[in-house]
Structure 1
Amino acid sequence: MLTIKQITENTNAVIRGLEKKHFKNAKETIDQVIAFNDKRRSTQSILDNNLSEVNSISKSIGQLMKEGKKEEAETAKSRVAELKEVNKTLQTEMDQAAEDMQNLLYTIPNVPYNEVPEGVGAEDNVVEKMGGMETELPKDALPHWELTKKYDLIDFDLGVKITGAGFPVYKGKGAQLQRALINFFLDEARKAGYLEIMPPTVVNTASGYGTGQLPDKEGQMYHCEVDDLYLIPTAEVPVTNIYRDVILEEKQLPIKNCAYTQCFRREAGSYGKDVRGLNRLHEFSKVELVRIDKPEHSRQSHKEMLDHVEGLLQKLELPYRILRLCGGDMSFTAALCFDFEVYSEAQKRWLEVSSVSNFDTYQANRLKCRYRSGEKKTELCHTLNGSALALPRIVAALLENNQTPEGIRIPKALVPYTGFEMID
């Protein structure tokens, strides 16, 4: 959530940033926020003056009674009663202005950094880097949904029977490959200094608001209505909310957490060839990195996270590219985001496997996540997170890019985790 200071001191810059994200009616919305804030402040000023007058008059009443000035004392009492009634109205008006302002702020996305490219959608993202190994496949190469059937790795039809589309059942070496990737990603995160967390996969409303998933305008979160709880779309939500309403000491930063969880996304409106097989699921596994940092160090943290994800893809021997997302393709909460995509030789398309984002103070302001500097002042932290990695499309790319006439080859880095070198 944007801070009032950010909006009032840099109004034009905020509006330009929101326009870069293609936020509709940016100027009108920011003007309304400022109007609510002005209303809240002016009402607070009148209320403060009235409270001061009430205190002053109240102190004088006893003295007037002592001096026998009963009529004047009664007049003073009437004035106090009158002011108290006025103050009730003022308090209601002030609270309403504050609530209206807060609700409006929740609907405003984060402001992108200056280095975020202009653009409307994915076609305007900038390719920062390409790497990995080129793949040569047999002429009769199969997409992963055919490979999983051929080698009995994943049963999509059984998932439909048990739950519905988008909930696959992993079997045999397919399940072992999934578990191997999870352990590999967690071990690599641990070696990089991340503390592993095993959080709940269901969160309350406050947690959803804390990281910006709520209000959920697209209806992409699964909502357990009876208990008013939400299935998490990513471990970012519960892990980052560990630090909600927390004041950290400067020496604790940066905090580095990682977590493996199941993730749940309704993906409403998703259909067509691009969602076949593992390309887009309602339930999937992911290892997430979360960092809490000081503002002056968050860009360095972001770079370290990008290097970590790139290192994983290199160890998995996958062809990849790194994209700097344009304003129109960034998430609601991000100030700067890079996507990692792996190339599927069988599908002849790029598959997104990670987004690594810096949220600046946007989430921290919602969370009230602060740190105490050496001067004993409290300041908002910066929050960052990234997938390291999301499994479905990694599995798809591994199966497709490593298929041979003899079977599917397992990358060397994974063999100690799978216990086998080939799926045949």
Structure 2
Amino acid sequence: MTTSTPVHDVLGIGFGPANIALAIALEERYPHLTARFLEARPTPEWQPGMLLDGSDIQNHPSRDLVTLRNPRSRYSWLNYLHEQGRLLRHLNQPVPFPLRKEYAGYIRWAASFFSHQVDCDQRAASIRAVEQYGERLYEVVTERGDRYLGRTLVVAPGRTPYIPEPYDTALGSRVFHLTQYMPRLEQLTADGAPEAVAVIGGSQSAVELALDLHRRFPRTRVVTYSRSHSLRQKDTSPFSEEGYFPEFTRYYFNASVENRRALDRYMQPTNYSSADGDVLEELYTTIYEQELDGDQRVFVRGNHQATKVAVTGDKVRLDFTELITGESTVDSVDFAVLATGFRNLGPGAHEELCPALLKPLHGRLATADDGRLQVGYDYALAPREGETLPPLFLNGLCESSHGIGDAGSFSLLSLRAGTLSDALATRLSAAFADVDAPAPVAA
């Protein structure tokens, strides 16, 4: 007996914050639409590899999964604290931002309300457009061989880690991206503290990793290597922070490619290659005190470019060139953590033309002259001229087209979910033009 595969109005790949926010928006605004999400992990999680003791988030907590779009929603950060019985305790905490591990608890809590719509341990292996049941649909097959069908597809797998040369030649158990930090650390230090560790990068994450390693292993030599001159403080000017307003998103989207790059250069210090003042002060004071005691174990090496990376046994050899003097140096460490960021969509050396999952469809999608995908303001990907595809959307991957507010942060997450839910409802309504689609449910 053959069992037919159900067709979902919305099929989503990934169930991290981006698609959790979308699930909330669909429930609150378009409850008549059916949705199914595929999550590669055993449970929906947010940054499980970076839930460091003492680390906080870098945005106002009410820039959460829902509040900017619907302040009355039950899925808000404040309601989470209320339901956990921790609202007053949290408000009494003398820090500006919540702990990252507590915000991760909020994400898990919100995701739990949609467990009936999510299939975990289902990593998407292939995507293709098919004709079935008289409809144009997307077929997603998972690594376990299960098949899913959707009238629309929303791709939100998270951004691809950026692994620069020459670290890509040595990637493995001892040279790894920060997204794997917690599990790799547990494996590598099971038998004792390391002698030396390298942190690569000049970001907030790099500083947090250096501090975390020093707290865990006070006698370990911890060296942060950066290609820039040194570590820089984030631009937290409220004027710059308006780059995380929806008005800036439209302004950026309508700019030319050249003008977008100029805006990128201005906005970069608000989110990239920079760190918050509190962690920079803690790291600097740590180094200062160690120098005072004549026992320095934490270092920052700026203007260092790796030329060769090799793993031999239980050690990693790192060859560097000092970019100003040209001096060559060599370091040997137990492992190296890459705080080197993530790839955006685009043709640049640090970018990728399209998400890996969509490569089989890339030839059927419209692109700009430089090869980048053409992304609509509603996050839809247009088919190439002469091609017919069901509606396809990106969620959380569109910084190169929508600006810094789409840079993997929570800043505009809920508003983007609203835009996507409206676009999905509109496209589905057009697909069934003979049936009037229900109006959005008032929030």
TM-score range, shorter chain: under 0.3
Larger fraction in helix:
1
Q: TM-score, normalising length from structure 1?
A: 0.23
Q: Normalising by the residue count of structure 2, what TM-score does the alignment of the two structures yield?
A: 0.22
